[in-house]
Structure 1
Amino acid sequence: METRYYEGCGREGPIRCIFLGEFHPVAGPKIACQFPEDFISKDLFDSLSTFIIPKPILQKKNITFNAPAHKILGYPIYLKSPRYPRNVYVFNLCFVCDNWSRTVQYEPVVKKLGEHLITLEEESAFVSGGSSRLPTFLAHLLYDLNTYRKTTVTEGDTIIHVKVTEIRDDPSTVNDHDVPVLVASIGLPRPGNSSNLSEEPDSSSREDLRDELQDQQPMEIYTNSNWDLTTKQLLPYINGYYHVSKIAAKVNVEKTLVKACIQNLVYYGVVNIFVFCFTKTKYTYPTYTRGRSRPATFGSEVKGLQKLFTGERCTDEICCLTSIDIPSLERIIEDDPNVAVIVC
């Protein structure tokens, strides 16, 4: 059975054609150069010319529109100078993709190339002069972007690097009790530390491992100057055992900043959120039933926990919010006849 793609399916397709449209002072809108040759016919271009060479209000803005069987995106440029016949030169470097293809990842590329062509045009009239290197320029772009998703453009003394960046979905919210785990190879443990911190410790060795971690030196991370300060502080403590609240306390950084940083690392695939329970293989969600089978005589501090027993917060999250340990919380739950536990 043939699979048919459709607009909005989320799939990325290749670049089918790259062309350079311009406004000629005599002929009007036309294709100055394209690769492959004759991919966009003159009749199709004429029917779309108002979108390819738009009004000045749309200059230097990403434009994407659908055509029969194609989706075209461009970045129109208006250059004003007395050296041009009408004191202005308009051109637009456009990518042509399938009409069902997701193209948002190409928008920064089209913009960067458009700005680069401004520099080349101002220096040597590379576009308006009809340079003989234009066909090779477009062919090089098409091949490299489709094959490697990146390219290096060299023209004279000017060099730019272009890369198609993957646009991912927004990561889920990071909670105080979440345990981040490194999934990218960005560093090595210190020599002599043989503990595998990515595995959940069993009940017999958990206390020994916790004591060992208290005195253990952080993991050495090889970072470059592009890492921000908060990320450099957090990475050594992302060991598959510390939850977000503990990491924030270790590095003495506001929890909201730690959550934002970890969420950013999740987005770029450096970190993943690990479902981790301190004492059980399943999460437990205490809920206060408000029944009064028999009176419970607890102090005000314990009674304050009742507002957290809603069935929506697991015991790990409650421990993070109240700085209480798991055994103490479990005793409170067991001793209170008005608390039920949901296990999932």
Structure 2
Amino acid sequence: MAKHVLKTSPDSPESQRNSRMKGERDVVKRQEKDFRWIFGIFWKGARSCAGERFIYFTFSRIQDDDPRDLLCTLSSAAGYPETKRYIQRPLWTHFSILPVHNKDAPDISAGTKVVHQSPPGCIVSEPGVDKPRLFDFETMAEYIIPRQAFCNRYVTICDPDNKYRILGHPVCIQDEKYERNEFMFNFCIVIGVDVDKIPYEAVVRRLASTFTEMEIQNQFLSLEGASKEKAQDRRSIAALLEIIKEDLNNYNECMIPVDDATTINMKLFPIYRHPPPVKSWHVPIAKMKFAEIIDDTWDLTMKKVIHEIDGIKDVRRIAHDADVALDLTKIALQHLLYYDSILMIDLFLFGNIYAPTPSIDDFVADRDGLQDECANYVYINGPRLSNFYLCRLFTSLCTSRTLKEWIKLHLDQNFPVLNYVDVRRFIQFGVIKGLIYRVNKYAVSSQYLASLVTGQSVQIDRGDVLQKYTDGRHCFDQITVEQNMGDAKIMEQLRQFQKGDVEIIYR
């Protein structure tokens, strides 16, 4: 059966009408596809440039040198009469939003730029300044003036070479009085990557908050250089930053009047490391004369504790003699440690063991006058001996000899140490200067360690008092202070354990 196919001539009116309708449908589909693509690309960008007060968006292409440029007409609603027009590029081409402005308006399409830098030419090149820059600003500009998600918060950035760290607090102020409906700025401090950044964080935050308020009140930043009459009544931004930098570097603080109503006050406070915990068997030694600085305004507990610090008493003894709770005594001493007013050393006993460190070479070579300093600190009675004897005393300390045995050794060699040297001050000097170190003793019970693993308790006749100290983590100093036992008494109690169970470790 033959099929008849109706064919129309290309020049017939019906064929032309079908072609025209097909072409119009293709154009509509292509326009709808382009609109969805543009809307998806620019929704985030349009909100970031104009805020959320715009309800709907219309886009149309414009003809200029770059066909990718788009004219974004943002129609306002909710009582906003004006209509803003922006030239915006796709986000994958540029990250900045370039607004349309008339020829009489200032150039607001310059994008991110450095308004002031000190010293000149350290960040971006300047005319007449021939010096290498610290880093390439262009590669880091998008992090210094970042996207909205990183604005109004403290941000630190390291340059690609990991030599410098930029500390900043980018600020974004949204207001319809600006050409872009927002104003962004950032005051940054550049420091070495190894420099502690904590003291400068407060300065960066203060710069951001201070200039934010000044910008909101009288547009101090955005109108910089716009009016010569107003500029005469206030300092320029460059002058302010230069004074701030010089004062902070020289005096660690600044107090700069900006105008009749505003003054910038900042101060760099030293940030100390958190001190180690204070133990009851530690001995505090004062590094300053507290009697010269203490007054009636000091805390009563602190005054009681300071009065008992003599370089001999341990923390528990200080708490007892000062009639202060042990916990409060530790807090007071930790406060003094934080401000580097005292230092902590081990409890001095003649049963202690000390050994030289590699720094003993500096003492033997008498670098920085260590020998005379030690002699002035440790010699007590009789004529002053040669510094040779001090070297002899330090080098004769070893890990297998207690202080009692060390003194007996020199007595056998006809050198009465106790007649010339204060042994306690001698040991303290060596520990403080790092010339010697303490060798502590620890008791380790294999049965007690096994009971900790299995969870089964082990009963020890007359040894329960010291059982908790036999896990290898408690030194003999702790046992001495907490249990009021001497070295001989501790060893006697440890013999109550099963034979061969307890071992003494020196470390």
Q: TM-score of the superposition, structure 1-length normalised?
A: 0.65
Q: Which runs of 5+ in 1 are unaligned?
A: 1-22, 189-219, 292-298
Residue 269 of structure 1 aligns with which residue? 340
- The structure number with the bigger radius of gyration is 2
Query: Is the counterpart of residue 61 in structure 1 residue 134 in structure 2?
Result: no
| Structure-1 residue corresponding to 2:268 | 164
CA distance in 1, matches of 2:476, 2:265: 50
**Per-residue CA shift, 1:287-344, capped at 9, x if unaligned?**
36689xxxxxxx966542244245543333113323x243xx6335247646665567
Tell me the matched-pair count.
Answer: 278
Which runs of structure 2 are paired with 1:45-124 in the superposition (5 Å)? 45-67=137-159, 70-98=164-192, 101-124=195-218
Tell me the residue number matched to 1:221.
Answer: 294
Q: Deviation per CA, 1:62-97, whole angstroms, max 9, x where unpaired?
A: 211123564321111222344433343221101123
8 A Cα contact 2:463 2:493, kept in partner: no
Which structure shows the higher strand fraction? 1
Question: Does 1:126 pair with 2:284?
Answer: no
Cα distance change on mapping 1:334 and 1:134 into 2, 3 Å: same
RCO higher in 1 or 2 (8 Å CA, sep ≥ 6)? 1
Shift of the alpha carbon at 1:275?
A: 2.2
Compare 238-247 and 58-67 and name the one that shifted more. 238-247
* Residue 316, structure 1, aligned to residue 316, structure 2: no
CA-atom RMSD, angstroms? 3.7
Aligned residue for 1:187, secondary structure, equals helix
* Superposition TM-score, scaled by structure 2 size: 0.46
Q: What CA distance in whole angstroms lies between the structure 2 residues aligned with 1:233 and 1:59?
A: 50
* TM-aligned CA deviation for residue 240 of structure 1: 2.6
Indicate the residue corresponding to 1:295 in structure 2.
none
Where 1:152 maps in the other structure, the secondary structure is: strand
Structure ranking higher in helix proportion: 2
Structure 1 residues 277 and 62 mapped into 2: Cα distance closer, same or farther (>3 Å)? same
Question: Contact between 2:254 and 2:265, CA under 8 Å: does it hold in 1?
Answer: yes
CA distance in 1, matches of 2:289, 2:266: 25
User: In the alignment, which of 271, 276, 285 is matched to residue 441 of structure 2?
Assistant: 285
Asked whether the equivalents of residues 153 and 170 of structure 2 are also in contact (C-alpha less than 8 Å), the reply is yes
Query: Deviation of residue 279 (structure 1)?
Result: 4.8
2 CA distance for matches of 1:331 and 1:118? 69
Q: CA offsets, 1:107-149, max 9 Å, x none?
A: 2221122222223333443222216522221111222233333
**1:33 — aligned with what?**
116
Pairing 1:106-255 to 2, within 5 Å after superposition: 106-130=200-224, 132-156=235-259, 157-188=261-292, 221-222=294-295, 231=302, 234-249=305-320, 250-253=322-325, 255=327
Q: What is the match of residue 42 of structure 2?
A: none
Q: Which stretch shifts more, 167-176 or 29-38?
A: 167-176
Q: Secondary structure at the match of 1:266?
A: helix
Same amino acid, percent of matched pairs: 25
| Counterparts of 2:493 and 2:150, CA distance in 1 | 69
